[in-house]
Amino acid sequence: MVKTFKYRLYPSNAQELRLFQTLDVCRHWYNMCLSERKWAYQLEGRSVKKSEQEKTAIRYRQSFPQARTVFSQTMQSVCDDLDKAFKAFFRRVKAGEKPGYPRFKGRDQFHSFAFKQFGIGARLDGKRLKLYGIGRVPVRWHRPIEGKIKTVRIVHKAGRWHVCFVVETPETEAIPLTGKAIGLDMGVCAMITTSDGDKATNSAYYRLSQAQLRIAQRSLSRKQRGGKNRRRALLRLQRLQDHTASQRRDYAHKLARKLVNEYDLIALENLSIKNMAQNLHLSKSILDSGWYLFRQFLTHKAENASREIVLVNPAYTSQCCSNCGVTFQNFGLSTRWVECACGLMLDRDHNAAINILNRAGRDTSVQHNVDPLPEPHGADKVMRAVETARLLSPQNVTSFRLD
């Protein structure tokens, strides 16, 4: 198994200057390699291989004094990154998607460089990370590294430096079976509703930070381009956005971990989230909920724990009675409570979650959750933000009965 461990770096002023110099050399080399590939194809009709550019990197380091302080394999990793960009470009062309030809990188668009082999150019020296041409950089070890380190990547994001260790770990032992299965219905008001009737509050971290983001964006727009004040305003905006993204990831991690620990089978709707985000009225709420991020974390954690994830067809999961299977008529988004002639009376999302579990070939679990699902930080503020942002007011919430 391959995992990535990310830690915060605290370089000194001199070390940070050398880190920026390395980043600039790698960026210029990336743009040179991209220019060579572009003009070689346009003028000569030939493709430049990665191995050819790796040999050119040797002469590049010998010709420019700034490049001599950069490790040779770091220059090769830049060629690897560009080669991956072209492979992704050709893959999108064959698939009929929007191609997206690799672009030249500006100062604010190139954020990382790598060491291809741990122990050569980058190694641990006590509790510090020793980098070629940079020195021993302090690291905040907030958790231990598990397994064998293969590669190292240095990342600069929102004014902060991080190190990402790609680690090869042995397969973990499976979590003991619980004998329980669950269906999950993802929504906007509640991020997920389970077939047991539990709800996980929508984090809505972006909505909570919108006021601060609006002020920061307005301040940035008034600054003169190229000035120091503009860079400070940009850094302030980047840190707000990074904080919001980190909150969303943290909540998705905790929610996915709790579900994986308690259930052997988890059924989800196979939603086309990219298409659903095109809805002008619901796009902000869908993206702020982090559906794709949650599903990605849940799938990864379930695979490591030997749990089963089942993706079912999302069609009519809300409009069918989970007891008798009858399809409701005149059923819209305003219908939040369903009542059927068979005697079923349930919340709309709870009914959908049971249908999702039934389509996965399992019945509703007899044992219900003992502990509630984790709530996001500031849950009371989140609920107020969600209720304010809801497109459907409480007066529009109606029930439906099938006669």
Confidence grade of residue 371 (pLDDT, cut at 50, 70, 90)? low
DSSP category for residue 10: -
Spell out where 169-244 has E strands. 181-186, 190-194, 199-201
Let me know whether 45 and 139 are in one domain.
yes
Residue environment code for 236-260, b if the CB has 16+ CB neighbours within 10 A, otherwise e: bbbebeeebeebbeebbbbbbebbb
pLDDT band at 387 (very low <50, low <70, confident <90, very high): very low
**Looking at residues 119-123, what average pLDDT do you find?**
93
Q: What is the extent of the structural domain holding 359?
A: 181-206+248-401
Can you give the pTM of this predicted structure? 0.82
- Residue 214 domain-assigned? no
Instruction: Kindly state whether residues 138 and 16 are assigned to the same domain.
Output: yes
- Whether 219 is covered by a domain: the verdict is no
Look at residue 188 and tell me if it is in a domain: yes
pLDDT of residue 363: 61
Q: Which two tokens stand for residue 127?
A: 């509790």
> For residue 300, how many C-alpha atoms fall within 13 Å in the half-sphere facing its CB?
14
Listed residue (200, 338, 313, 335) closest to 259, CA to CA: 200
| 114, part of any domain | yes
Q: Are residues 130 and 198 in the same domain?
A: no
C-beta separation of 372 from 338 below 8 A: no
Check whether residue 262 and residue 397 sit in a common domain.
yes
**Of 140 and 177, more confident:** 140
Regarding whether 190 and 329 lie in a shared domain, the answer is yes
How high is the pLDDT of residue 388? 44
Q: Count of domains in the chain?
A: 2
Predicted pLDDT of residue 395 = 36
What backbone torsions phi and psi does residue 236 show, to the nearest 5 degrees? Answer: -65, -40
CA–CA distance, 360 with 363 (Å, rounded to integer)? 9
Model confidence at 335: pLDDT above 80: no
